[in-house]
Amino acid sequence: MANIRRRLIINGIVQGVGFRPFIYALARDIGLTGTVYNASEGVVAELEGSPLQQQEFTQRLEGEAPPLSTIISVESSDIPVQNDSEFTIIASHDKSTVSTLISPDVALCEDCRQELLNPDDRRYRYPFINCTNCGPRYTIIEDIPYDRPYTSMKNFPLCPACKAEYEDPGDRRFHAQPNACPDCGPTVWLVDKSGDRVTLDDPVRETISLLSQGNILAVKGLGGFHLAVDARNESAISRLRETKGRDEKPFAVMVRDLKTAQKLVHLTQLETETLVSIQAPIVLATTRGNSNLPPNIAPGNDRLGIMLPYTPLHHLLFAGNLDVLVMTSANFTEEPICIDNAEAEERLSKMADYYLMHNRDIYLRSDDSVVMEMAGKMRPIRRSRGHAPRPLFLKQKGPSILAVGGELKNIIALSKDEKVFLSQHIGDLENLEAYEFFKMTIEHLQRIFEIEPELIVHDLHPEYLSTKWAKEQSLPLLGVQHHHAHLAACIAEHNLSGPVIGIIMDGTGYGTDGTIWGGEFLVGDASGFERKAWFEPMPLPGGSAAIKAPWRTGLSYLYHAFGSEMPELASLADKSTAPILQMIDHDLNSPLTSSCGRLFDAVAALSGGRGEIRYEAQAAIEFMQAARNQLGTDYSMFDLSNHDGEQIISINHIMHELVRRIESEKSLANISQWFHHSLVKTFASITLNLRKESGIKQVILSGGVFQNRLLFEGLLAELKRVGLTVFTHEQVPTNDGGIALGQVIMGQKFLSF
């Protein structure tokens, strides 16, 4: 049969990921001739051969594409035959022909790992080995196009051997921008506490022995510094907790390999696949009873954050006797992760005993991503390294929007056409360093993706630094309600059209009435909403001080339900309650809130759980874990009062039921099961009523409280059981790390009217 020539335009993440060599190898393997080159619309392949060969190419294209690539679309058209004699890669020199998609940073690939550990390889034990299938990307890019002179590899001219690999289309390192070797690339060295270089042949081996002796090491990684200690050394962990100012919040660990992980935690199939994935996130998995790890790694917590080595340097750290390391972001609590060598020595000087440094600059910091399996799917808790800046794709193209997110766990978003680029985790903006990082990230993402937003979308909260920043810019603004943005984020993730019933259970968000919302049933879409049901607003004595001391919230809820007839509960016995009651009585600094997070705090504290917390949501997390993943049999329905089609979920009845259980000495486990079950039943009943009233079948769950696995899984099952279609977060966090995505589509909707 006569040859035909076909042009394929392949769009997606197809640059800097070994795509052209892949096309080259595939075409040659099949016997096609033609060319491949980069163009502004993606990778263009012109293929000449028989229809059968063409068909084989199309079939193998997606299945065999390089691991870091993502094919979004393939446009195909027939063009005149040119009778090429072979298949060639055509170089592109034009700066305008650059695809705007940049790969995230990903874990060391298996080929590179084998070379790393092979004494005969020229990169044996070289901590910066990488190829087109693995290594740093986003964190080393200063500008576009993604080419070595525009990355932090610009200081390392390729040696002849590396250059040959870089230029050979048949090589795994063809156009691998961070390609390097011991002769031409970055190096590591060790520095002691006083800033003096420790001169040694092998700083990595010395690091292992320093860790084994109980030292705290600051280790420069891919997206920033980690503080590392031997996770089997209880006193080293205590020292780390002291120096880092982190009393009880669980530490994540990095383990030598999957086998070690399996000894420490129970792993499902999905958790295993996620651990070994190229994103290599921290997986929150259930700790084994016999893990033998010191309890101060994750006090009072039945989950352990665990990850596998993802850089060559990490792999080398596990080549000795160590098999588990605490690896925590090098910063004071809630400050951004440290990335710069000089900055590290200064900021970490009180924390680390030694520093394992290197001279490949990190241009953009990126924390480890965190995920957790719930209801059979992996859910992001923190979407960062390995994911940012991979875009999410909307159904339709829209105007460019800058969404600045909220205040805590901030992530920003920028959109272009149908793509939404979410930044890495930025952190809590109330912290000055995080705020600087926020501004830098906005500027950087706009530059590397060449986005000029038409509108900035921000949270309604006037005091959020993200809101204040937005108001200083000279672009049109749109302020959106926090929980409406949560709802829109879930709509965007699933490309839903039409209104939804949104169950938004959250910590804190500024309401349209100036009170603090957080336990809301909203009906609407990206362009608007009606608030249909919410928890009865309760005073929060001391405002944010009550968030840190759940017993205060507990007292407030109890007082509301019982007035002066309040029962004496053991959990409040040693608390000085009188001043708090006065604050409530005189309405002093006692903002009203409908927050579900605060309800959890109150119930947990009154039942004998945490009265004071050392990290965010600690009371609720421990209260949930007390239930041992069971809803139990009994429950109480919350009272609802109806006001012109709006329902207030009353607190009083459930408080009386709670006290009855506390006084009859029910266990914390029993109370926790009953309370979760009561929420599930009440939420499902309200949702069913809203469905009847509105005719809307689609339900979405969003808000930080849905990181509570027992509530989330219980409610999801119940809603499905009664015939509702439920959508939940799988791409972005259900916490405030997800709201920028919602803000984007709200902005697009706003501009389209």
Site of interaction with Zn ion (CB under 5 A): 109, 112, 131, 133-134, 159, 162, 181, 183-184
Among 427, 540, 736, 747, binds Fe ion (CB under 5 A): 736
Q: In terms of CB distance, is 87 or 310 closer to Zn ion?
A: 310
**66 vs 541, which CB is nearer to Zn ion?**
66
Instruction: Indicate the residue among 171 and 302 with the shorter CB distance to Zn ion.
Output: 171
**CB nearer Fe ion, residue 384 or residue 508:** 508
Residue 420's binding partner out of Fe ion, Zn ion, none, with CB under 5 to 8 Å set by partner kind: none
Instruction: Pick the closer one to Fe ion by CB: 437 or 517.
Output: 517
Closest CB to Zn ion among residues 108, 210: 108
Beta-sheet pairing, 282-287 with 4-13: unpaired
Minimum gap (Å) between residue 173 Cβ and Zn ion: 8
- Is residue 9 exposed (0-12), middle (13-18) or buried (19+ Cβ within 10 Å)? middle
Min separation Cβ 705 and Fe ion, Å: 9
- Which of 165, 230, 428, 506 is close enough to bind Fe ion by CB under 5 A? 506
Residue 181 interacts with which of Zn ion, Fe ion, none, CB < 5 to 8 Å by class: Zn ion
Nearer to Zn ion by Cβ, of 134 and 229: the residue is: 134
In the bound complex, what is the minimum distance in angstroms from residue 735's beta carbon to Fe ion?
6
Q: Is 446 exposed, middle or buried (0-12, 13-18, 19+ CB in 10 A)?
A: middle
Strands (E), 569-617: 592-593
Nearest distance from C-beta of residue 176 to Fe ion, angstroms: 40
CB 223 within 8 A of CB 105: yes
Cα(356)–Cα(74) distance, integer angstroms: 45
Task: Identify the bridge partners of residue 712 per DSSP, sorted by sequence position.
Answer: none
Q: Tell me whether residue 112 or residue 327 sits nearer to Zn ion (CB atom).
A: 112
Of 112 and 732, the one with the shorter C-beta distance to Zn ion is 112
- Give the interface segment with Fe ion, choosing from 186-194, 218-226, 307-315, 502-510 (CB under 5 A): 502-510
Give the residue with the Cβ less far from Fe ion, 506 or 657: 506
- Give yes or no for a contact between 488 and 497, defined as CB atoms under 8 angstroms apart: no
Distance CA 133, CA 193 (A): 36
Nearest distance from C-beta of residue 153 to Zn ion, angstroms: 11
Give whichever of 132 and 274 is closer to Zn ion, judged by the CB atom: 132
Which letter does DSSP use for residue 508 in this model?
E
Segment lying near Fe ion (by CB under 5 A), choices 360-368, 498-506, 524-532, 597-605: 498-506
Q: Which does 109 bind (CB under 5 to 8 A by kind): Zn ion, Fe ion, none?
A: Zn ion
Q: How many CB atoms lie within 10 A of CB 443?
A: 10
Q: 267 touches which of Fe ion, Zn ion, none (CB within 5 to 8 A by kind)?
A: none
DSSP codes joined into one string, 330-345? SSSTTSPPP--HHHHH
Q: Residue 462: is the preceding peptide bond cis (ω within 30°)?
A: no
Apex CA 112: angle with CA 107 and CA 113, to 5°? 75
Only segment of 227-235, 414-422, 509-517, 525-533 that touches Fe ion (CB under 5 A): 509-517
- d(CA 737, CA 410) in angstroms, rounded, equals 6
Q: Which is nearer to Zn ion, 161 or 637 (CB)?
A: 161
User: Least CB distance from residue 18 to Zn ion, whole Å?
Assistant: 10
Gap between the Cα atoms of 456 and 398, Å rounded: 14
Q: Which is it for strands 528-535 and 516-525: parallel, antiparallel or unpaired?
A: antiparallel
DSSP one-letter string for 326-386:
EEEESSSTTSPPP--HHHHHHHTTTT-SEEEEESS--SS--PPPEEEEETTEEEEEE--TT
Sign, CA torsion 187/193/199/200: negative
Nearest distance from residue 747's CB to Fe ion, in Å? Answer: 18
Q: How far is the CB of 486 from Zn ion (least distance, A)?
A: 38
Residue 736 site contact among Zn ion, Fe ion, none (CB < 5 to 8 Å, cut-off depends on kind): Fe ion
What spatial distance separates the first Cα and last Cα of the chain, rounded to whole Å?
54
User: Taking Cα atoms as reference points, which of 609, 564, 600 lies closest to residue 584?
Assistant: 564
Report the residue number, 112 or 275, with the smaller CB distance to Zn ion: 112
What is the nearest approach in angstroms of Zn ion to the Cβ of residue 110?
A: 8
Among Zn ion, Fe ion, none, what does residue 168 contact (CB within 5–8 Å per kind)? none
Alpha carbon distance 167, 160 (integer Å): 10
Nearer residue to Zn ion within complex by CB, 148 or 486: 148
Tell the smallest beta-carbon distance from residue 509 to Fe ion (Å): 5
Contact of residue 506 among Zn ion, Fe ion, none (CB under 5-8 Å per partner type): Fe ion
Stretch that binds Fe ion, among 330-338, 390-398, 659-667, 731-739 (CB under 5 A): 731-739
C-beta separation of 734 from 504 below 8 A: no
- 724 half-sphere exposure, CB direction, 13 A CA radius: 30
Phi, psi of 189 (to 5 degrees): -150, 165
Cβ of residue 102: shortest distance to Zn ion, in angstroms?
A: 18
3-class SS letters over 154-202: CCCCCCHHHHHHHHCCCCCCCCCCCCCCCCCCCCEEEEECCCCEECCCC
Residue 63: both structure tokens together: 């299945």
CB of 206 to Zn ion, least distance (A): 24
Asked whether 739 and 459 are in contact (CB, 8 A), the reply is yes
Candidate segments 17-25, 521-529, 605-613, 736-744, binder of Fe ion by CB under 5 A: 736-744
Indicate which of Zn ion, Fe ion, none lies near residue 162 (CB less than 5 to 8 Å, by partner kind). Zn ion
Q: Is 749 helix (H, G, I), strand (E, B) or coil?
A: helix
Q: Which is nearer to Zn ion, 131 or 141 (CB)?
A: 131
Within 10 angstroms of residue 28's Cβ, the number of other Cβ atoms is 14
The one segment of 275-283, 549-557, 619-627, 730-738 that binds Fe ion by CB under 5 A: 730-738
Q: Closest distance between Zn ion and the C-beta of residue 317, in Å?
A: 18
User: Does residue number 407 form part of the binding site for Fe ion (CB under 5 A)?
Assistant: no
Query: Smallest gap, in angstroms, from Cβ of residue 203 to Zn ion?
Result: 20
For residues 124 and 592, give the distance between their C-alpha atoms in angstroms, rounded to a whole number: 62
Shortest spacing between CB 55 and Fe ion, in angstroms: 50
Instruction: Tell which residue, 502, 454, 497, has the closest CA to residue 481.
Output: 502
Q: Which does 134 bind (CB under 5 to 8 A by kind): Fe ion, Zn ion, none?
A: Zn ion
Smallest gap, in angstroms, from Cβ of residue 109 to Zn ion? Answer: 3
Given the complex with Fe ion, which of 133 and 618 has the nearer CB atom? 618
b/e per residue, 508-527, with b = 16+ CB within 10 A? bbbbeeebbbbbbbbbbbbe
Size of the site for Fe ion (CB under 5 A): 3
Q: Give residue number: closest CB to Fe ion.
A: 506
User: Whole-angstrom Cα distance, residue 478 to residue 459?
Assistant: 8
Per-residue tokens: 544: 């944010």
Residues engaged in binding Fe ion (CB under 5 A): 506, 509, 736
